Amino acid sequence: METTLILLKPDALHRGLAGRILARFEDKGLQMVGLRLLRMSPELAAKHYAEHVGKPFYEGLVSFMTGSPIVALALRGPQAITVARQMMGKTFGIEADPGTLRGDFGCSKSYNLLHGSDSSESAERELSIFFPEGLEDWSPIQAPWFWDAE
Protein backbone atom coordinates (compact mmCIF):
# COMPACT_ATOMS: atom_id res chain seq x y z
CA MET A 1 0.00 0.00 0.00
CA GLU A 2 1.20 3.48 -0.84
CA THR A 3 -0.06 6.91 0.11
CA THR A 4 0.37 9.91 -2.17
CA LEU A 5 -0.30 13.62 -1.98
CA ILE A 6 -2.49 15.27 -4.58
CA LEU A 7 -2.98 19.02 -4.64
CA LEU A 8 -5.95 20.44 -6.49
CA LYS A 9 -4.55 23.77 -7.60
CA PRO A 10 -6.41 27.09 -7.69
CA ASP A 11 -7.42 26.62 -11.34
CA ALA A 12 -9.19 23.34 -10.45
CA LEU A 13 -11.13 25.06 -7.67
CA HIS A 14 -11.99 28.17 -9.71
CA ARG A 15 -13.34 25.93 -12.46
CA GLY A 16 -15.49 23.91 -10.04
CA LEU A 17 -13.69 20.62 -10.75
CA ALA A 18 -12.77 19.52 -7.20
CA GLY A 19 -15.69 17.12 -6.77
CA ARG A 20 -15.32 15.61 -10.22
CA ILE A 21 -11.59 15.09 -9.75
CA LEU A 22 -12.04 13.52 -6.32
CA ALA A 23 -14.78 11.26 -7.70
CA ARG A 24 -12.45 10.01 -10.44
CA PHE A 25 -9.82 9.01 -7.87
CA GLU A 26 -12.45 7.31 -5.71
CA ASP A 27 -13.97 5.57 -8.74
CA LYS A 28 -10.53 4.16 -9.51
CA GLY A 29 -10.38 2.64 -6.03
CA LEU A 30 -8.01 5.01 -4.26
CA GLN A 31 -8.91 5.57 -0.62
CA MET A 32 -9.12 9.09 0.79
CA VAL A 33 -7.15 9.24 4.05
CA GLY A 34 -6.69 13.02 4.27
CA LEU A 35 -8.51 16.06 2.90
CA ARG A 36 -7.95 19.77 3.57
CA LEU A 37 -9.16 22.98 1.97
CA LEU A 38 -6.57 25.66 2.67
CA ARG A 39 -4.90 28.76 1.41
CA MET A 40 -1.22 28.01 0.99
CA SER A 41 0.97 30.53 2.80
CA PRO A 42 4.20 31.77 1.20
CA GLU A 43 6.09 29.82 3.89
CA LEU A 44 4.23 26.60 3.09
CA ALA A 45 4.79 27.16 -0.63
CA ALA A 46 8.52 27.73 -0.03
CA LYS A 47 8.71 24.47 1.89
CA HIS A 48 6.76 22.50 -0.71
CA TYR A 49 8.56 23.98 -3.72
CA ALA A 50 12.03 24.18 -2.10
CA GLU A 51 13.71 22.46 -5.08
CA HIS A 52 12.48 25.25 -7.38
CA VAL A 53 13.80 28.24 -5.39
CA GLY A 54 15.81 30.47 -7.70
CA LYS A 55 14.32 29.11 -10.92
CA PRO A 56 12.74 31.64 -13.30
CA PHE A 57 9.19 30.35 -12.75
CA TYR A 58 9.39 30.15 -8.94
CA GLU A 59 7.92 33.57 -8.04
CA GLY A 60 4.99 33.14 -10.43
CA LEU A 61 4.33 29.63 -9.12
CA VAL A 62 4.27 30.79 -5.51
CA SER A 63 2.02 33.74 -6.40
CA PHE A 64 -0.39 31.42 -8.22
CA MET A 65 -0.47 28.77 -5.48
CA THR A 66 -0.94 31.30 -2.65
CA GLY A 67 -3.50 33.47 -4.46
CA SER A 68 -6.55 31.22 -3.95
CA PRO A 69 -7.50 28.15 -1.93
CA ILE A 70 -6.29 24.68 -2.82
CA VAL A 71 -7.32 21.19 -1.76
CA ALA A 72 -4.71 18.87 -0.28
CA LEU A 73 -5.70 15.24 -0.71
CA ALA A 74 -4.00 12.12 0.63
CA LEU A 75 -4.87 8.96 -1.29
CA ARG A 76 -3.96 5.38 -0.39
CA GLY A 77 -3.99 2.22 -2.44
CA PRO A 78 -1.78 -0.30 -4.21
CA GLN A 79 0.84 1.66 -6.19
CA ALA A 80 -1.12 4.84 -5.43
CA ILE A 81 1.68 7.13 -6.68
CA THR A 82 1.89 5.48 -10.10
CA VAL A 83 -1.88 5.11 -10.42
CA ALA A 84 -2.55 8.76 -9.52
CA ARG A 85 0.14 10.07 -11.86
CA GLN A 86 -1.19 7.97 -14.74
CA MET A 87 -4.67 9.29 -14.04
CA MET A 88 -3.38 12.88 -14.01
CA GLY A 89 -1.72 12.59 -17.42
CA LYS A 90 1.07 14.66 -18.92
CA THR A 91 1.90 17.92 -17.18
CA PHE A 92 -0.14 20.19 -19.43
CA GLY A 93 -3.64 19.43 -20.64
CA ILE A 94 -2.91 20.38 -24.22
CA GLU A 95 -0.43 17.46 -24.34
CA ALA A 96 -2.30 15.03 -22.07
CA ASP A 97 -4.20 12.08 -23.45
CA PRO A 98 -8.00 12.02 -23.39
CA GLY A 99 -9.17 9.93 -20.45
CA THR A 100 -6.65 11.49 -18.07
CA LEU A 101 -7.69 14.26 -15.70
CA ARG A 102 -5.56 16.86 -17.42
CA GLY A 103 -6.51 15.53 -20.85
CA ASP A 104 -10.22 15.71 -20.06
CA PHE A 105 -10.27 18.98 -18.11
CA GLY A 106 -7.32 21.04 -19.32
CA CYS A 107 -6.08 22.72 -22.48
CA SER A 108 -3.57 25.17 -21.00
CA LYS A 109 0.22 25.29 -21.25
CA SER A 110 0.31 27.32 -18.00
CA TYR A 111 -2.25 25.82 -15.64
CA ASN A 112 -2.27 22.09 -14.95
CA LEU A 113 -4.99 21.60 -12.30
CA LEU A 114 -3.06 19.15 -10.09
CA HIS A 115 0.13 18.25 -8.34
CA GLY A 116 0.93 14.65 -7.48
CA SER A 117 3.86 13.17 -5.59
CA ASP A 118 6.37 11.63 -8.01
CA SER A 119 8.01 9.09 -5.67
CA SER A 120 7.55 7.49 -2.28
CA GLU A 121 10.23 9.81 -0.88
CA SER A 122 8.45 12.89 -2.24
CA ALA A 123 5.11 11.60 -0.98
CA GLU A 124 6.45 11.13 2.53
CA ARG A 125 7.97 14.63 2.58
CA GLU A 126 4.93 16.30 1.03
CA LEU A 127 2.37 14.51 3.19
CA SER A 128 4.24 15.65 6.32
CA ILE A 129 4.02 19.25 5.07
CA PHE A 130 0.28 19.24 4.36
CA PHE A 131 -0.85 16.75 7.01
CA PRO A 132 1.51 17.29 9.96
CA GLU A 133 -1.10 15.84 12.32
CA GLY A 134 -1.11 12.57 10.36
CA LEU A 135 -3.68 10.76 8.27
CA GLU A 136 -6.79 8.72 9.00
CA ASP A 137 -6.11 5.00 9.21
CA TRP A 138 -9.26 3.16 8.20
CA SER A 139 -10.30 0.32 5.93
CA PRO A 140 -13.13 0.84 3.46
CA ILE A 141 -15.51 -2.08 3.31
CA GLN A 142 -15.13 -2.30 -0.47
CA ALA A 143 -11.31 -2.70 -0.26
CA PRO A 144 -11.37 -6.41 -1.16
CA TRP A 145 -13.26 -5.56 -4.34
CA PHE A 146 -10.75 -2.89 -5.39
CA TRP A 147 -7.43 -4.12 -4.05
CA ASP A 148 -7.45 -7.91 -4.39
CA ALA A 149 -7.32 -8.04 -0.58
CA GLU A 150 -8.40 -11.13 1.29
Active site residues: 115
Residues written for the chain = 150
Instruction: Name the strands in the sheet holding 31-38, side by side, starting at the edge strand that comes first in the sequence.
Output: 31-38, 70-77, 2-8, 114-116
Provide the 3-class DSSP secondary structure of residue 37: strand
Q: Report yes or no: 129 and 46 within 8 Å, Cβ to Cβ.
A: no
- In this structure, the number of other CB atoms found within 10 A of the CB of residue 116 comes to 23
Amino acid in position 136: E
Q: Could you tell me where the DSSP H helices lie in the chain?
A: 10-14, 18-28, 42-48, 58-66, 80-88, 101-105, 120-130, 143-147
